[in-house]
């Protein structure tokens, strides 16, 4: 497209590493897109902004960010492979964003290219609104002519591609082409009453009316046109750009942007300036790049706008339009355009910038839950600080990456979309930051709780010369659940029910009668219990869902203090806990796998080895759907395993469901492992 429009003077090639997009070193090494790349061309009377996005589902965040601000999407299908998992994942988001979409069947020059099979798959999986505008006279090595059923002409290409010659449709193809043309006319007429009347009266529409009706149908997602091309042989791209210029909705005619407050913002160059940052990227020697779309008004270099997330002012020192790594300085950008600026102070992906006093905020992009987790093997102490700084920088640029420094697990956990995603993070850390980074198996955030009631008391007494320490606490602990009755035999004076930082609850009941312990020590007693709950007696995991009733004790008028009661309550809790038949809980995740019939048996068998509980099975389009609940401990490297089992033709998503008791044999193993680890330490 860039070459056809004269934006470049040579046709880029992936194998030669000369493409305008895929310009980073890792993309050149791998031979495929990893980051979205912004480009633009001038075609006839339109400027077409192009964002080239990755196809791998590990990098779906780049696709989602781009779809958020795109007026039209081009869904590329490989004529050899047909509809792939990445295409279907992108389609889910196309439907969610309601993005008008043109389908392009590419690589029709390849020996095993199958246009009709790919089209049939697209219709089967995306619906009957998928309608061909073009089809090849021949796929494979003989791909040199395209029948265009909208213009009712054949485009015949030379061996080197480029601008085609126009020919009449052969007699043998005329009936098929006319049927497809009539289908396009009907689609155009259906979206406008006046056009429908004319169609009924005259049986056809002229070229201008056809374009008008198809624009409405495309914008309403009532029509997904299918085009043909061979990008490597430069056959067909010019016609696709012509269709975008003539038919695709412009920013002005696209639906208005949705705002956080429920209102909408139309694309209007005369309105107040509003821009939305959809991507941030740190570039060596340049700093932080902010990619944005102007949703309203116009912006100029040097203009001051305000970030509606944090109310800070930001000066747009310079504005650029981009073609891959090349950027051209411009004075102004208007509503509908996409640009880049540098070195904003405190701007993140999803931020909206507008004039001072405005509260306009574009609805943020919602990213999918993570599907894989890995722990970072800690390097030397001096390297760790640099590593964390680099990871948080990447996390700021990539919202699908979560960096968690987990104090309970004493690990740094990375959560991402797949193994390839995490491998890319490691590559960037090592190549860009010069820091060695290795992954290790992440620990599981187990929890501990109790299954029955127990009482305990503990006296802390310490005397060393002057003032000593004295505190005695009597407590009852029992399993906590919502709506449970007050404790029998005790008089409740005060109740505190706290949400714990690690999840679950602590119910703290003050049941002291007669002043055996002064109420001023209640906070210290509670603090001692909380400290003990941070590292449970079984495995050192956090304790949750416990009710503690303090019902008796003793104090000393001189030696009692907060520290004494903290120690006494901590030890009393530990003793009581061990008498309650304690239970280890593990995190359980809802897992949904979409796969084809032929691999369903293998996937089901694998899930059974992972202690999964199958919740249900069904069908979604051409997919089989398996819903299961699986312990997080059994999901390590599941992304890679599923890809291997299905040859990349299955997809899954997961989300936290609940904490549940581990089976007896698993608890026994965990206790033995914890004991061995403690003895070794």
Of 647, 648, 599, 655, nearest to 627 by C-alpha is 655
* Residue 603 DSSP SS3: helix
* Burial class (CB within 10 angstroms; exposed 0-12, middle 13-18, buried 19+) of 35: buried
- Average pLDDT, whole number, for the chain? 92
**Cα separation, 652 vs 427, whole angstroms:** 25
Range(s) within the chain of domains with CATH label 3.30.70.870:
372-443
Range(s) within the chain of domains with CATH label 3.40.50.300:
72-246
**Cα separation, 41 vs 6, whole angstroms:** 8
CB 139 within 8 A of CB 117: no
Structure tokens at 400: 């699908």
pLDDT at 524: 96
User: Which ranges constitute the DSSP H helices of 289-418?
Assistant: 381-397
Which residues, other chains included, contact 460 with Cβ-Cβ below 8 Å and sequence gap of 6+? 469, 470, 471, 472, 564, 565, 567, 568, 571
- Judged by average pLDDT, the poorest of 202-216, 332-346, 501-515, 642-656 is 202-216
Calculate what percentage of the chain has a pLDDT beyond 90.
Answer: 72
- Mean pLDDT over residues 231-246, rounded? 93
Range(s) within the chain of domains with CATH label 3.30.230.10:
448-581
β-pairing, 101-106 vs 224-228, is parallel
pLDDT at 573: 96
Give the 3-state DSSP-derived string for 610-674, with helices as H, strands as E and coil as C. Answer: CCCEEEEEEEECCEEEEEEEEEHHHCCCHHHHHHHHHCCCCEEEEEEEEEEECCHHHHHHHHHHH
- Judged by average pLDDT, the poorest of 94-108, 272-286, 559-573 is 272-286
Handedness of CA 503, 655, 98, 353 (dihedral sign): positive
- The tens digit of pLDDT for each residue in 25-57 reads 888 888 888 899 999 999 988 899 999 999 888
**Cα separation, 106 vs 115, whole angstroms:** 9
pLDDT at 537: 85
- Which string of b and e fits 601-625 if b means at least 16 CB within 10 Å? eebbebbeebbbeeeeeeeeeebbe
pLDDT at 12: 82
- The tens digit of pLDDT for each residue in 452-494 reads 999 999 999 987 666 789 999 999 999 999 999 999 999 999 9
Phi-psi region of 336 (alpha: psi -120 to 50; beta: other; left: phi over 0): left
- The tens digit of pLDDT for each residue in 617-658 reads 998 777 899 999 999 999 999 998 998 998 888 889 999 999
| Cα three-residue angle 607-611-614, rounded to 5 degrees | 60
Residue 681: pLDDT above 70? no
CB 678 within 8 A of CB 629: no
Bridge-partner residues for 438, per DSSP?
A: 377
Q: Which CATH number fits domain 585-667: 3.40.50.300, 3.30.70.240, 3.40.50.1100, 3.40.50.2000?
A: 3.30.70.240
- Beta-sheet strands, E only, within 133-210: 134-136, 145-148, 153-156, 165-167
Residues across the chain: 681
**Cα separation, 181 vs 210, whole angstroms:** 10
**Cα separation, 307 vs 328, whole angstroms:** 25
Calculate what percentage of the chain has a pLDDT beyond 70.
Answer: 99
Half-sphere exposure of 275 (CA within 13 A, CB side): 32
The CATH superfamily holding the domain 372-443 is Elongation Factor G (Translational Gtpase), domain 3 (3.30.70.870)
Residue 283: pLDDT above 90? no
- The tens digit of pLDDT for each residue in 245-258 reads 999 999 998 889 99
Phi, psi of 135 (to 5 degrees): -150, 150
Q: Which residue has the tokens 């009316």?
A: 209
pLDDT at 375: 95
Q: Dump the DSSP string for 525-557.
A: HHHHHHHHHHS-TTTSPEE-SEEEEEEEEE--T
- The tens digit of pLDDT for each residue in 85-135 reads 778 888 989 999 999 999 999 999 999 999 999 999 999 989 999 999 999
pLDDT at 515: 84
pLDDT at 465: 64
CB 384 within 8 A of CB 665: no
Handedness of CA 229, 230, 236, 241 (dihedral sign): positive
pLDDT at 256: 92
- Mean pLDDT over residues 199-215, rounded? 80
Range(s) within the chain of domains with CATH label 3.30.70.240:
585-667
CB 562 within 8 A of CB 460: no
- Mean pLDDT over residues 291-295, rounded? 97
Tell me, yes or no, if the pTM score tops 0.75. Answer: yes
- Mean pLDDT over residues 420-439, rounded? 90
Bridge-partner residues for 279, per DSSP?
A: 291
Structure tokens at 282: 């740190």
CATH code for the part of the protein at 72-246: 3.40.50.300
Residue 448: pLDDT above 70? yes
Of 120, 82, 129, nearest to 102 by C-alpha is 129
Give the 3-state DSSP-derived string for 31-99, with helices as H, strands as E and coil as C. Answer: CCCCCCEEEEEEECCEEEEEEECCCCHHHHHHHHHHHHHCCCEEEEEECCCECCHHHHHHHHHHHHHCC
Residue 156: pLDDT above 70? yes
Architecture of domain 448-581: 2-Layer Sandwich (3.30)
- The tens digit of pLDDT for each residue in 511-543 reads 998 889 999 999 999 999 999 999 988 899 999
pLDDT at 382: 82
């Amino acid at each position: 497209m860039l070459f056809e429009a004269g934006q470049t003077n040579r046709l880029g090639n992936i194998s030669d590493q000369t493409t305008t997009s895929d310009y980073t070193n890792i993309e050149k090494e791998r031979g495929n897109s990893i980051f979205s790349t912004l480009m633009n061309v001038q075609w006839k009377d339109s400027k077409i902004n192009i964002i080239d996005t990755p196809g791998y589902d590990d990098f779906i965040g780049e696709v989602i960010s781009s779809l958020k601000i795109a007026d039209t999407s081009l869904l590329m299908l490989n004529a050899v492979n047909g509809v792939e998992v990445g295409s279907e994942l992108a389609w889910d988001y196309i439907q969610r964003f309601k993005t008008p979409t043109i389908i392009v069947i590419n690589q029709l020059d390849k020996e095993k290219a199958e246009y009709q099979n790919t089209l049939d798959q697209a219709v089967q999986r995306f619906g009957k609104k998928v309608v061909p505008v073009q089809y090849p006279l021949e796929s494979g090595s003989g791909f040199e002519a395209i029948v265009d059923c909208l213009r009712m002409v054949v485009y015949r290409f030379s061996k080197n591609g480029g601008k085609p010659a126009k020919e009449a449709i052969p007699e043998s193809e005329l009936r098929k082409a006319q049927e497809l043309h009539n289908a396009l006319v009907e689609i155009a007429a259906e979206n406008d009453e006046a056009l429908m009347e004319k169609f009924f009266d005259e049986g056809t529409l002229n070229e201008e009316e056809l374009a008008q009706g198809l624009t409405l149908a495309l914008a309403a997602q009532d029509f997904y046109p299918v085009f043909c091309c061979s990008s490597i042989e430069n056959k067909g791209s010019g016609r696709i750009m012509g269709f975008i210029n003539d038919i695709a909705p412009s920013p002005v005619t696209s639906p208005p942007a949705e705002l956080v407050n429920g209102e909408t913002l139309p694309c209007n160059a005369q309105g107040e300036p509003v821009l939305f940052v959809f991507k941030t990227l740190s570039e060596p020697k340049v700093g932080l790049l902010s990619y944005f779309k102007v949703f309203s008004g116009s912006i100029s270099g040097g203009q001051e706008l305000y970030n509606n997330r944090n109310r800070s002012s930001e000066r747009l020192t310079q504005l650029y339009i981009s073609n891959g790594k090349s950027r051209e300085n411009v004075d102004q950008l208007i509503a509908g355009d996409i640009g880049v600026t540098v070195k904003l102070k405190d701007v993140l992906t999803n931020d909206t910038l507008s004039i001072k006093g405005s509260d306009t905020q574009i609805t943020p992009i919602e990213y999918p839950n993570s599907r894989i987790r890995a722990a970072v093997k800690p390097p030397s102490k001096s390297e760790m600080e640099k590593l964390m700084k680099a990871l948080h920088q990447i996390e700021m640029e990539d919202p699908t990456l979560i960096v968690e420094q987990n104090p309970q697990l004493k690990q740094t956990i990375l959560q991402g979309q797949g193994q390839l995603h995490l491998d890319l993070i490691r590559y960037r850390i090592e190549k860009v930051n010069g820091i060695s980074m290795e992954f290790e198996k992440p620990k599981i955030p187990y929890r501990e709780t109790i299954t029955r009631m127990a009482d305990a008391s503990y006296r802390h007494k310490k005397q060393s010369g002057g003032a000593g320490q004295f505190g005695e606490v009597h407590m009852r602990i029992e399993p906590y659940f919502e709506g449970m009755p007050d404790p029998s035999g005790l008089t409740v004076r005060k109740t505190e029910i706290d949400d714990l930082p690690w999840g679950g609850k602590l119910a703290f009941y003050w049941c002291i009668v007669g002043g055996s312990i002064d109420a001023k020590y209640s906070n210290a007693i509670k603090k001692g219990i909380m400290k003990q709950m941070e590292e449970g007696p079984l495995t050192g995991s956090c304790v949750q869902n416990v009710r503690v009733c303090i019902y008796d004790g003793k104090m000393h008028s001189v030696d009692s203090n907060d520290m004494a009661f903290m120690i006494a309550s901590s030890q009393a809790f530990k003793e009581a806990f061990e008498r309650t038949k304690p239970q280890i809980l593990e995190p359980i995740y809802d897992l949904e796998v979409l796969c084809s019939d032929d691999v369903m048996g293998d996937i089901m068998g694998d899930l059974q080895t992972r202690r999964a509980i199958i919740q249900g099975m069904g069908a979604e389009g051409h997919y089989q759907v398996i819903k299961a609940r699986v312990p997080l401990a059994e999901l390590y490297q599941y992304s890679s395993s599923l890809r291997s089992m299905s040859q990349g033709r299955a997809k899954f998503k997961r989300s936290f469901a609940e904490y549940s008791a581990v089976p007896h044999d698993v608890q026994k193993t965990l206790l033995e492992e914890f004991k061995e680890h403690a003895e070794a330490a």
